[in-house]
Structure 1
Amino acid sequence: MNDTTPTPVSAPLYKDPAQPLDARVHDLLARMSLDEKIAQLHAFWLILSEDGKHRVRPGTLFIEGTGQQSFEHRLAHGVGQITRPLGTHSVEAGSGLRALNRLQRFLRNETRLGIPALAHEECLVGLMTRDATAFPSALALSASWNPELVESVAQQIRHESQQLGCHQGLAPVLDVSRDVRWGRTEETFGEDPYLVGVLATRYVRGLQGPRRDLLATLKHFVGHSFSEGARNHAPVHVGWRELSDVFLLPFEMAVKQANAGSVMPAYHDIDGEPCHASRQLLTDVLRTRWGFDGLVVADYSGVSLLYQHHRVAADAADAAALSFNAGLDVELPADDCARNLRLALDRGAITPARIDEIVARVLKEKFRLGLFERSFEDPAEPPLLRSPASVAAAREAARQSIVVLENRSGILPLDPSVARRIAVIGPTADDPMGQLSGYSYHAHFIDPDEALDTGHIVTPLQGIARVFAAGQLHHEQGCWILEHRRAGSPVFPGDLRDDANAPRQASPVSLRTDRIPAAAQAARTADLAIVCVGDLAGLFQRGTVGEGSDTDSLSLPGVQQQLLEAIVATGTPTIAVLSGGRPYNLGGLEDRLAAFVMAFAGGQEGGIALAEVLAGQVEPSGRMTLSTPINVGAMPCYYNHKLKSGGTPIALHFGSRYPFGHGLSYTRFDYRSLQVGAPKAPTEDGEFEISFEIANTGSRPGVEVAQLYVRDCQASVVRPVRELKAFRRVQLDPGQRARVRFHLPVDMLGFTGMAGQRIVEPGLFDIAIGASSADIRLQTQVEAVGESRILGRTWRMESRSQVQPIK
């Protein structure tokens, strides 16, 4: 008897989740056509629709962009990534998710091989979509000096991102600030590479989770913040040792300690080599030396700039070959150059084996993320954004970021139960946009034809009204920063003329002074004036700070200085509140203010957090992570400079009024009883234990940020005058004492030597303990003994600390 039962057709091996990852990749790669492989190496930037009628993002495209007809035809081959599906246009979260799922189901079920796309979004200060939580700026978060807080914020961003189908977030920014005129200063964690590395590591851990099922993207690799004149995209002039010890260090920490899933090269060139074409950076350093196993994704249009601006490539095909040979895996935001890879193959500029190697990495990450096992059906419950937990995290982050710079005669904290007349003045006092940084949704997308809901953003005026309900408030704007927010942008990364003398667009910053007299009169009739000044973030010269919104001055934008002078001249005690993305000088008014508070861009809860700190309901604990130079002529300015940086004799304009680490409390802290476990430790595997007491000798509870700095007494290369190597927040009640114990690995005393390798040398090191880089309370000296040694791939990158209460 013959068996007529049909033999079941087994599914392809790559569809079997029980198979090893590499076997699945190998099987799928063998089945792919060249067009299907190339499709995995780029993104499409689309406006998605629930009905499946997706269209190419309209308006000014980056370089050439993807045409509608080309997109519809080529989508049948699949695509590597979808660019900002919910962050490209204003869309309700549930609708945006349904549209994305519709596209994913098409890719999964209606293309030949069924390869889903990775969806990426911006998420530096919260998922950059309409209804997500708006957290404080990265610079504000760094002022908390609280790694656990940064990780908790990133966890909330992760939760919102995953609800909306996001697989990769284009954050954090690991650029080490060097010149605060740079518009992207607000995106950084400050000017110290160690602090940046610690905070970035925690951000990555929070965003990715323990299984790396959402990819963090480290950017901008590398040195982007040290450009000529602090101008966007400008060349960077830095030697290898400084590049390694300052700018590469945070990336190395986040790759090795947090298993970061993605890295994004920077736009600029270093000594003539564009980062998007640097095999040394993208392959030799990142993959070979550090062991990075994730995806390298282009900054938007960065591949096209290789031939459009840098002119190291002949055309788009040549640019694609240069970048992919260097170590790039995916072109973003579209396919300007990657679609020309077939031509590059025909020319012999890239090999089929190289393309297979890159496609294999992309597929492996998609398999590892579990995309092939997802149905992409719409969830039964709508996404929950701005949850109570997320809003609470945003408020706590804003509270801990606020820095009290001056507090003359102890005017702060203000008793909210005292009935007083308060004049709340200034262009940022009641402008919700003043609480947002450049990569917040509402600041990123400015469209006068779209009514954006900003009701969830608490302004300083609203926060003060809630907390100081017993007083009489009088609000006067005083002046504008920007009278009109323009749609679009005068400059995109792909738009640049060769002629340096080409006509410039007029500055959008307002110079009107007609509202200043009314503000001054309000101050005269008040018991107290709170003047809110600062920035309005906006891309490419649409604001006073943000990407492409660089400055040539450290004076307040527009006529804000005139406003502040007029208020101070009334004689009414004045508290200045500076918000935004960089520190500014106040033209000497710092000495005449009753108090000066740095509030940064506090996010949606920034206004209430500020009021709580002013009222003493929350103790101020923020500390500066940027040095505020006394004069713009001192730029670039940072605390960890070389001895000769100030010139000889020291230039009159050099130095900082509010140095790195500075911040005041409403109580007093004493440092005492310094102890060193052993003054010598071996260079091979040694560690120094350094402990001291901190006592709260004031009448209020408070938080001190204890900081440990090191100086190499003699080295084979010139070393900085001071470097942060440990820090710890310490919370104490009045009269309470605690012993702080730092464990400092000798590895962290290393640097990049003459041969270009990180080494540890024996010798003496000065140890300084203090409340800031300039407020040193205790000092000692330790010695590393033994032979010089080269640090291998694995070395101890962080110090440890404990706080033990003393009864």
Structure 2
Amino acid sequence: MNNASEAPLYRNPGAAIEDRVADLLGRMTLEEKIAQLHAAWLKLSPDGNHQWRVADFAQRTTGISIDTLLEHGLGQITRPLGTHTVDPEEGVRALNELQRRMVEETRLGIPVMSHEECLVGLMIKDATLFPAPLNYAATWNPALVEQVGEVIGQQARSIGCHQGLAPVLDVSRDPRWGRTEETLGEDPYLVGVMGYRYVKGLQGEQRDLLATLKHFAGHSASEGGRNHAPVHVGPREFNDVFLLPFEMAVKLADAGSVMPAYHDIDGIPCHADRDLLTGTLREKWGFDGLIVADYAGVNLLYTHHGVARDEASAAAMSFNAGLDIELPGHECALHLKEALARGEITEDTIDTIVRRVLATKFRLGLFERPYADPDKVELRGEGASRVAYQAAVESAVLLCNDGTLPLNVETTSKLAVIGPTPNDPLALLAGYSFPVHLINAGEHAGAAMATPLQALRARFGDARVVYAKGCDVIEARSQGAPVYPGDVEMDDAINEARASLISTSREHIADAVHAAKNADVAVVFVGDLAGLFQSGTVGEGSDTDSLDLPGVQQALLEAVVATGTPTVVVLTGGRPYNLGGLEDKVAGEIMAFAPGEGGADALADLLTGTVNFSGRLPLSVPKSAGAVPYVYNHKLKSAGTPIAFHFGSRYPFGFGLSYTRFEYRGLECKQHEVPIEGGTVELQFEIENVGSRAGTEVVQMYVRDRLASTVRPVRELKGFARVSLEPGVRGKVTMTIPVDMLNFSDEHGNRIVEPGEFEVMVGSSSRDIHLRATVIVVGDGARILPRNWRMLSASSVALDETMSQPDAADSVVAS
């Protein structure tokens, strides 16, 4: 290495980043530039004896030695602690050894960036296990979601992670899709608000950890809810529904990275779509971060999509479109010299991309602080556990209750806990949690966390709780199917049926019936076991063709309900399921999604009334798979016929009950006419807790455009607030909506607002509307919005004429 007196400009931390980049780029060979454009997927070792991580879906064969691969440097290292089970301190030492090699043994000493999955917590051994993103959204509490991001970000920094592959901003459109559990629901505004707050929390004020927005874009609208399938959406719907959350996260939270999706739209794969990656993201929105490939997404351009002839062409196609780094490995990027020789890419284009990569590394401070301290790894703590519990308790949704809930700990003499999931900690976890991810890697999957059965026994006592499993969802967890459509010849995939892992045995249902008959109340836990690529019933690659409970769980539930014992259903998992007509026969139903490590105590506290329900559905529960696609913000003609019995949702978007009741009254509109330029709709109304318990209502504001130049949805969410009230207390809620938020896309892709009448609706769900008003937007014609248009509504509440509550997790949250 050079002496300090001879240090080149790029090693001067006081120099401007653009000058450091220019100096370093000018010193680099073509091989050193290309090395910055890809990652390596290795099993790292503290002694430097690193091994390949070989997988069927990515990095099948290496064709190059590790020493040769690392000779010229490296852009990123893929999941150094999350690739396999390793003690975190040992993993940091191994990462430091790789970093030492990059800094001390390569010619220019360029440090490597490290990325990890972090959607539901850092996906490594011993990290806090947070609830699923559906739970985040079900809290309707952006401040709490930001806290979740902060905790995950702190844990990521402690292991030397520089980029987290989250959040998922796909807008749910078909719950049959296995990745529904990863979404923040079906409304683009709710997804955008929760998503940008997660990004703010994860990145922190210094933006020294990059969040990664994925999957850009429209991935959730795949044919039939099938993973990777093509997406068929028009440009207006694409912009208004699927791009909006990404635009919000880029502009409101300065997101550091974006990951394109696997699918194609109208025949153009996202990884090769220059209009999307460069035209929209960089040029139109002003995004200045890194675009990183989804794993093997570049490779798929020639192996599956068939739009590139080989690895070199695939690399050229992606990097020309706007990609910065190939993940998880190097399969295509190493062929860029061949693409360059064939004229498929220019060195100027490569230089432009390398500048962005180097600028990011300088901005993150990697050259000055390349190593993590293994003695300061922090993955657990009371604060993190409290946030995980709070996210679980605020996200459970009470769908129905005949008065059986809350359960009385003092007077219940016998409680039957029944079902395949209450004694399985994995049933509380989403697919991108580390224990579940291990299943498909062929490693042992365990989770040292409480189960609902244990939590209920702790409250009622062992003697008063009887447990009967009744059936299994999956009898033995094992690796699943091939990862990508195309990894198996299509004729083979169609003609050779794969045996399902889902259990069909009913031999233990009689035990559950016996337990229920001898109990005061039966609490039946049913739902999913998350697992990737058909190693579970939900998760990436674990799609379904039905919204019936997997396996024989419906038969179990029917048998328990038939005993006449009041039956409460607790549904956990990654998508909404129907109860086959039992919704009118059960005593209560709770949708808890995948509540994470705090889920057991959260559910026990909610069931016994220690805390009140405040979660609201972030997506509708379609009546059946035949009702799909169904979302609340559909077009008027979506039902197809005047009365379509299969259309719609029993429990709609935004719905949820609690142990108290709220009344709405007195809607006042401050201005019935607002200007199209800079105008704001301001509404006030009263809400009162008319029940006997303290509770939190989620107030929701919807808007309908009565006359527009294109067909508009029947209603769209534009604002919301959590309002916490003691019994008998009233609050005056003020909600403001910028006129900019009444926009939609025109034929040129511009966001426009048109003058005219808008119906404004206040309700407790998208169906349960309590107050209405009409507002007229006044202007001479349609207004094209500027780049930095006003994207957020705001809300506040005054209790008994007092000051407004602050924006906090336990009070009103501005949306």
Same fold (TM > 0.5): yes
Query: Offset at 1:469?
Result: 3.1
- Matched ranges for 1:281-360 at <5 A: 281-360=276-355
Give the superposition deviation at 1:378: 3.8
Alignment of 1:579-728 (within 5 A): 579-728=572-721
Is residue 399 from structure 1 mapped to residue 404 from structure 2 by the alignment?
Answer: no
Return the letter of the residue paired with 2:487. D
Distance 2:770 2:646 in 1: 26
2:756 is the counterpart of 1:763 = yes
Matched residue type, 1:692: F
Specify the SS of the correspondent of 1:404.
Answer: strand
Code of the residue aligned with 2:661 in structure 1: it is R
C-alpha spacing 1:149/1:93, structure 2 compared with 1 (3 Å): same
Structure 1 outlier segments of 4+, above 4 Å: 6-9, 447-453
Alignment TM-score, normalising by the size of structure 2: 0.96
Q: Deviations over 1:12-68 (max 9, x none)?
A: 10000000000000000010111110000000000001111011113535154534x
Equivalents in 2 of 1:689, 1:339: separation in Å?
A: 57
Instruction: In structure 2, give the amino acid aligned to 1:118.
Output: M
**What secondary structure is seen at the aligned counterpart in 1 of 2:465?**
strand
Q: Tell me what 1:560 maps to.
A: 553
Partner of 1:117: 112
Does residue 1:496 correspond to 2:485, yes or no?
no
Q: Distance in 1 between matches of 2:483 and 2:338?
A: 30
Residue from 429, 440, 447 that aligns with 1:454: 447
- The 2-side partners of 1:353 and 1:158 are apart by 35
In the TM superposition, what are the counterparts of 1:117-516 in structure 2 within 5 Å? 117-376=112-371, 378-379=373-374, 381-408=375-402, 410-446=403-439, 450-455=443-448, 457-469=449-461, 472-487=464-479, 489-492=481-484, 495-499=487-491, 501-516=494-509
Match of 1:93 in 2: 88
Percent of paired sites with the same residue: 60
Distance 1:74 1:494, change over 3 A: farther
Whole-Å Cα distance in 2 between the matches of residues 295 and 14 of structure 1?
Answer: 20
Please give the TM-score of this superposition, normalised by the length of structure 1.
0.97
Alpha-carbon distance in structure 2 between the residues aligned to 1:271 and 1:520: 52
Once the two structures are superposed, residues 392-444 of structure 1 have per-residue CA deviations (whole angstroms, 9 ceiling, x without a partner) of 11001000000000001x11111222242011000111001100000000011
Cα distance in 1 between the residues matched to 2:794 and 2:446:
44
Tell me, what secondary structure is at the counterpart of 1:106? helix
Partner amino acid for 1:399?
V
Tell me the SS of whatever aligns to 1:704.
Answer: strand
State the Cα distance separating 1:754 from its structure 2 match.
Answer: 2.9
SS in structure 2 at match of 1:373: coil
| 1:65–1:334 CA contact under 8 A, matched in 2 | no
Q: CA deviation at 1:502?
A: 4.0
3-state SS of 2:278 partner: helix
Give CA-to-partner distance per residue, 1:65-103, whole Å, 9 cap, x none: 534x43221201111000000000000110001100111
Residue deviations 1:681-722 (CA, integer Å, cap 9, x gap): 110110011111100011000000000000000000000000
| Residue 47 of structure 1 pairs with residue 40 of structure 2 | no
Give 1:795's aligned residue. Answer: 789
Tell me how far apart the structure 1 counterparts of residues 723 and 794 of structure 2 sit (CA, whole Å): 14
Contact 1:44 1:66 in 2 (8 A): no
TM-superposed deviation, 1:650: 3.1
Separation in 1 of the partners of 2:372 and 2:761?
A: 58
Q: Decide whether aligned partners of structure 1 residues 502 and 356 sit closer, same or farther in structure 2, where only a CA change above 3 A counts.
A: farther
Q: Distance in 2 between matches of 1:451 and 1:55?
A: 20
In 2, Cα distance between equivalents of 1:796 and 1:612: 40
- 1:7 Cα deviation after fit: 11
What SS class does the counterpart of residue 372 from structure 1 fall into? coil
Q: Which residue of 1 aligns with 2:807?
A: none
Instruction: Give the match's secondary structure for 2:632.
Output: coil
* 2:803 pairs with 1:805: no
Letter in 1 for 2:512: A
Distance (Å, rounded) in 1 between the aligned partners of 2:437 and 2:44:
19
Letter in 2 for 1:793: R
Return the alpha-carbon distance in structure 1 between the equivalents of residues 678 and 697 of structure 2.
31
Could you tell me whether the CA contact under 8 Å between 1:748 and 1:798 is conserved in 2? Answer: yes
Q: Structure 1 residues 9, 731: CA separation in 2 closer, same or farther (over 3 Å shift)?
A: closer
Residue in 2 that maps onto 1:3: none
**Is the 1:301–1:493 Cα contact (8 Å) retained in structure 2?**
no
What letter matches 2:637 in structure 1? Answer: K
Residue 534 of structure 1 and its aligned partner are, at CA, apart by: 0.2
Query: Retained in 1: the 8 A contact 2:438–2:444?
Result: no
Partners in 2 of 1:353 and 1:64 — Cα distance? 31
Which amino acid letter does the alignment assign opposite residue 745 of structure 1?
P
Task: Verify the 8 A CA contact 2:59 2:329 in the aligned structure 1.
Answer: no
How many residues are matched? 798
Which amino acid is 2:464 matched to?
Q
Aligned to 1:25: 21
- Deviation, 1:507, is 1.1
Q: CA deviation at 1:648?
A: 2.0
Q: 1:309 to 1:396 in 2, by over 3 A?
A: same
CA contact (8 A) 2:546 2:624 kept: no
Q: Quick check: 1:417–1:470 contact (8 Å CA) kept in 2?
A: no
Q: Deviations over 1:360-413 (max 9, x none)?
A: 00000000000000152644x3412221110111001000000000001x1111
Q: What is residue 733 of structure 2 aligned with on the other side?
A: 740
Supply the RMSD in Å over aligned alpha carbons: 1.5
Secondary structure, in 3 states, of the residue corresponding to 1:739?
A: strand
Q: Is the 8 A contact 2:54 2:61 kept in 1?
A: no
Q: Does 2:520 match 1:527?
A: yes
**Post-superposition CA distance 1:219-252 (Å, at most 9, x none):** 0000000000000000000000000000000000
Listed as ranges, the gaps of 5+ residues in structure 1 are 1-5
Is 1:38 aligned to 2:34, yes or no?
A: yes
Q: 2: CA distance between counterparts of 1:75 and 1:368?
A: 23
Aligned counterparts of 2:490 and 2:506: Cα–Cα separation in 1: 37
Letter in 2 for 1:57: R
Read off the aligned partner of 1:463 and give its amino acid letter.
Answer: A
User: After superposition, what is the alpha-carbon deviation per residue over 1:519-554, rounded to whole angstroms, capped at 9, x for unaligned?
Assistant: 111111111100000000001111100000000000
Deviates most, 53-62 or 492-501 = 492-501
- Cα distance in 1 for partners of 2:705, 2:173 equals 21
Structure 2 CA distance for aligned equivalents of residues 42 and 423 of structure 1: 55
Tell me by how many angstroms 1:604 deviates.
Answer: 0.7
Instruction: Give the superposition deviation at 1:463.
Output: 1.5
8 Å CA contact 1:419–1:471 kept in 2: the answer is: no
Partner in structure 2 of residue 782 of structure 1: 775
AA of the residue aligned to 2:473: I
Instruction: Decide whether the 8 Å contact of 2:57 with 2:296 is kept in 1.
Output: no
Residue 65 of structure 2 aligns with an amino acid whose one-letter code is S
Q: Helix, strand or coil: the match of 1:302?
A: coil
Identify which range, 78-87 or 51-60, moves more after superposition. Answer: 51-60
